[in-house]
Copies of this chain bind each other. A is one copy, B any other.
Amino acid sequence: MKAALIGLGSVGRGVLEILANKNLGITITGIADSKSGCIDNAGIDPEVVLKEKQRTGLCGDRRIDAAAVIRNADYEVLIEVTPTNALTGEPALGYIRAALARKKHIVTSNKGPIALAYRDLAGLAQKKEVALRYEATVGGAIPIMHTLQDGLCGNRIVAVHGVLNGTCNYILTRMAAEGLTYEQALLEAREMGYAEADPTYDVKGIDAAIKLVILANTVWDNGVTLADIDITGIDLLTPDALRLAEEGDSTIRLIAEAIPDKKIFRVSPRMIEKSHPLVVEGSLNALTLETDMAKEITLIGKGAGSIETASAIIGDILYIRDHYGKRA
């Protein structure tokens, strides 16, 4: 299966590393980062590009950009893994639209386009008879979308409850375990590489809310947007609140939850019994799906990481190969 790769950050490099090490039958015919690009319809060696990128910061020719790769390369799947822009979804949104116009399958880790334009993109993909897959946008390596689409097929999903932001979960775990203040735990999270220099999107609950928007649209196709989510972050939480929770065999987690029957769409720190499967430690993510037949199903795993997120991308590509092969 031929694929074009747009974006060579942590996830894009993870995809190339996997393809360099595993024979999965996926051939890369075009690559672009923000400054350069390359096209070779006979196949590009992932290892050569990774070395070139590390040495020069480029993946090819400065005169070739993402738009040119999307327009000119010979591929069946566009792998779109550029950084998320939560306000406009660009430039990823334009890339995805351009590839859909060419009847190419889409696999993306980019939350922006899916959270902002799910209906539009899903409709376009359906019209063009191609797949739009975005397993990597929520819960990193955890196969959440696969579980919703196939694993729990036939079930009505009544509610979703998730620990969807590893940064917040790390901070809350450390506050509870060591009695740290929010500021101390955030500093530690930064030193450990679990928090970015500007952690606003994470600690204010916005990242989790964007993921909840993606989940809600996937499950219920209800057109929920970021504006519909009640959001409270963890940045005002005190060690006292955590201590109080822990005294009752509970703890506090930043829970993203959608319960359409009760019109609840919210992200907020909530008290939860320690024995509940959603209570995971450190930077792990977890999602509980409340269903009518299977009852509560919880999925736990790494919500971030280069290879972990690339694993979800690879899973989506292979799903397309196995289940859309004849339509491509």
Contacts and interface: CB of A to CB of B under 8 A. Distances in A.
Interface of A: 18, 22, 24, 141-143, 146-147, 150-155, 275, 277, 280-281, 284, 286, 291, 293-302, 305, 307-308, 310-312, 314-315, 317-319, 322-323
Given A293-B314, A297-B299, A300-B300, 20 more contacts: A18-B154, A141-B293, A141-B295, A141-B297, A142-B297, A143-B294, A146-B151, A151-B315, A154-B311, A154-B314, A155-B311, A155-B315, A277-B277, A291-B311, A293-B311, A294-B312, A295-B302, A296-B302, A297-B300, A298-B301
A237 B126 CA distance: 57
A244 to B, nearest CB: 20
A24 to B, nearest CB: 6
Contact of A297 (B143, B280, B305, B318): B143
A318 B154 contact: yes
B151 A143 contact: yes
B24 A154 contact: yes
A26 to B, nearest CB: 9
The 6 nearest A-B residue pairs measured at CB: A143-B151, A293-B311, A141-B294, A146-B151, A298-B300, A154-B314
A79 B7 CA distance: 46
21 contacts: A18-B154, A141-B293, A141-B294, A142-B297, A143-B150, A146-B151, A147-B147, A147-B151, A150-B150, A152-B315, A154-B317, A275-B281, A277-B277, A277-B280, A277-B284, A277-B286, A294-B302, A295-B308, A296-B301, A299-B300, A300-B300
Contacts of A154: 18, 22, 24, 311, 314-315, 317-318
A317 to B, nearest CB: 8
Contacts of A317: 154
Nearest to A278: B300
A323 B151 CA distance: 13
A142 to B, nearest CB: 6
- Tally of this chain's copies: 2
B294 A311 contact: yes
Given A150-B319, A293-B310, A299 B302 contact: no
B277 A319 contact: no
Contacts of A280: 277
A275 B193 CA distance: 22
A290 to B, nearest CB: 11
B294 A153 contact: no
Contacts of A24: 154
B322 A293 contact: no
A308 B281 contact: no
B277 A300 contact: yes
A176 to B, nearest CB: 11
Contacts of A319: 150, 153
Contacts of A291: 311
